[in-house]
Amino acid sequence: MTSVTARPRNPAPSVPPRLIATDLDGTLLRDDKSVSDRTVAALAAAEEAGIEVFFVTGRPARWMDVVSDHVHGHGLAICANGAAVVDLHGGPGGHRFIKVRGLATDDALEVVRLLRAAAPGTSFAVDRTGGVHHEAEYPPLRLDPAISVAPAEKLLSTDCDAADEPVLKVLANHPELTPDAFLALARDAVGARAEITRSSPTALLEISAPGVTKAGTLALCCAERGISPDEVVAFGDMPNDIEMLTWAGTSYAMDNAHPDVIAAASGRTVANNDDGVAVVIERILADRLSVEAG
């Protein structure tokens, strides 16, 4: 989705940043899902300067290979919109879960019931720590073949084969509703029983446990490190980034961001295809050198 054209806004962090939190798709990654050489260099330079970098994404851990080669420092990522913190040092297939904030199966079943009633035609997938399972009507995932196919009620039952694996997210797809209309309808139907957001250009919703958002888990990780919100610079482009962008002391929407994201962020940078994250990191580091030089 492309926003209206505007000049980038460039807020200066109120205090020297200690952590950079960046979304991946549509933000750090270019549209072809690559990480540019300029961005790789900027991430490495930030960590060399003592600024931690966290990847904060809606992706599951098994889709993190795209950035595993560019991990520096601690190597932690917040995945599944805050439902998991993952150590990426193991490389492809070797990612280790550090923290899991799962969705209780009873709550997931209630969400499925409510959405079936509010939006007939909705199909569901269940994303667990070990892989994804979905209904027969759910659009097949090119990157992530289903481990099993069955009605959501079966996939969430206590006797399903993956019952011992925590539920990270429930995904809901609607073939006819527009993305924003489906999001508004679902939030109204479900209320406080779950967190509902979206990051796809299609009518695909991502449903997590109450209180589980990118911002909530990032706040936990920062508190463990003694880092305050004012010391965080965050980047994003879609509605699932809004809480993180409003929590961080300084935040940037990409020029290609959803209009609601642009409104929520304190700043705006150029598009993901133009290395918008790298542009800001380079400026932060240049400003730090200027201050140190006196």
Q: Tell whether 70 and 152 lie within a shared domain.
A: no
Asked if pLDDT for residue 281 goes beyond 50, the answer is yes
**Residues for the chain: how many in total?**
294
Q: What does the pLDDT look like over 98-155, one tens digit per residue?
A: 999 999 999 999 999 999 999 999 999 999 999 999 999 999 776 678 899 999 999 9
* Domain limits for position 118: 105-208
Q: Rounded to whole angstroms, how far apart are CA atoms 210 and 101?
A: 10
Q: Tell whether 187 and 131 lie within a shared domain.
A: yes
Q: Tell whether 269 and 192 lie within a shared domain.
A: no
Q: Specify the CATH number for the domain of residue 72.
A: 3.40.50.1000
Q: Tell whether 180 and 221 lie within a shared domain.
A: no
Q: Among 159, 192, 208, where does a domain finish?
A: 208
Q: Say how many domains are in the chain.
A: 2
Domain-embedded: residue 9: no
Q: Tell whether 55 and 187 lie within a shared domain.
A: no
Domain-embedded: residue 3: no
The percent of residues in the chain predicted with pLDDT above 70, rounded, is: 91
Query: Is residue 210 very low, low, confident or very high in pLDDT (cuts 50, 70, 90)?
Result: very high
Mean pLDDT along residues 21-47: 94
Residue type, 13: P
Q: Tell whether 160 and 239 lie within a shared domain.
A: no
Q: Is 200 exposed, middle or buried (0-12, 13-18, 19+ CB in 10 A)?
A: middle
| Orientation angle between helical segments 37-48 and 276-293, nearest 10 degrees | 40
pTM > 0.85? yes
Domain-embedded: residue 8: no
Q: What does the pLDDT look like over 223-252, one tens digit per residue?
A: 999 999 999 999 999 999 999 999 999 999
